[in-house]
Amino acid sequence: MGKLIDMHFHLDFYPNHSQIYHGINEFCQHTLCVTNQPEIFEACMDMYSVTKYVQFGLGYNPQCVNDVSFNKSTFLKNLKRTKYVGEVGLDFSPKYYKNKDKQIEIFDFICKNSTDKIMSVHCRKAEKILHEILNNNANSRVVLHWYSGDEVWLKKFLLFGTYFSINANMINSDKGRKIIERIPIERLLIESDGPFTKVDGKKYTYDKLSKVYVCLSDLLKINSDRVRDQISQNFIRLVEG
């Protein structure tokens, strides 16, 4: 059976990150640990070895835009250390909208330099410009994380070849379920977005990843072994493609 995949996890947000790092390796769960700033990626890479199961994404979260400046040279210096970029993206919700031009400039710079990378992308209320930037820079290995946009843009992203990583909170909401049901199973990936999601009413911890799979299998009414194999095949296609 295919190994479990967690395509978007914030290891550094857990105080006991060292214990979790070892636990994920023991559980053999392929996990992309995204980071919100290049400096945090650098610290993680200096602290931890990359393994078959734990990889780190070089990121700059658009939700940092009001507080933390983006250091281009730290980003570029670290880019050769990984084939994963994330969390990156655009967030035009009210709190971050005032810095939308700065976000666009940063995201465009990241995309230009990440054409061969696997990207975990955050997009809120910015589908049009985000699609345009990915398209202009020919970023073809894109995973949209926790997609919340409308059906028209969902279709455009599918045509573009995008994958979608979905989580327990999406599976447990009406809006999220409607989105998941419109994504072909060949384009689905699983994420925890831990610690920002809940499974069975409790903050996500890495031992709950298999439960997220069970929830998805219940929603899609597909046997859980088949779901697991399919997600694993999707992951291999993305990573090796």
* Window of 17-25, 46-54, 65-73, 84-92 that interacts with Zn ion by CB under 5 A: 84-92
Ranges within 4-33 binding Zn ion (CB under 5 A):
none
Task: Pick the closer one to Zn ion by CB: 87 or 127.
Answer: 87
Q: What's the CA gap between 12 and 9, in Å, rounded?
A: 9
The H or E element that residue 157 is part of is: helix 151-160
Interaction mask 115-154, Zn ion, x per CB under 5 A: ----------------------------------------
142, β-bridge pairs: 119
Interaction mask 178-207, Zn ion, x per CB under 5 A: ---------------x--------------
Strands in 65-201 per DSSP E: 84-91, 118-124, 142-145, 163-166, 188-190, 198-199
- By CB under 5 A, the count of residues binding Zn ion is 2
Q: Are 179 and 224 in contact (CB under 8 A)?
A: no
89, β-bridge pairs: 122
Task: Pick the closer one to Zn ion by CB: 21 or 204.
Answer: 204
Residue type present at position 213: Y
Task: Pick the closer one to Zn ion by CB: 21 or 146.
Answer: 146
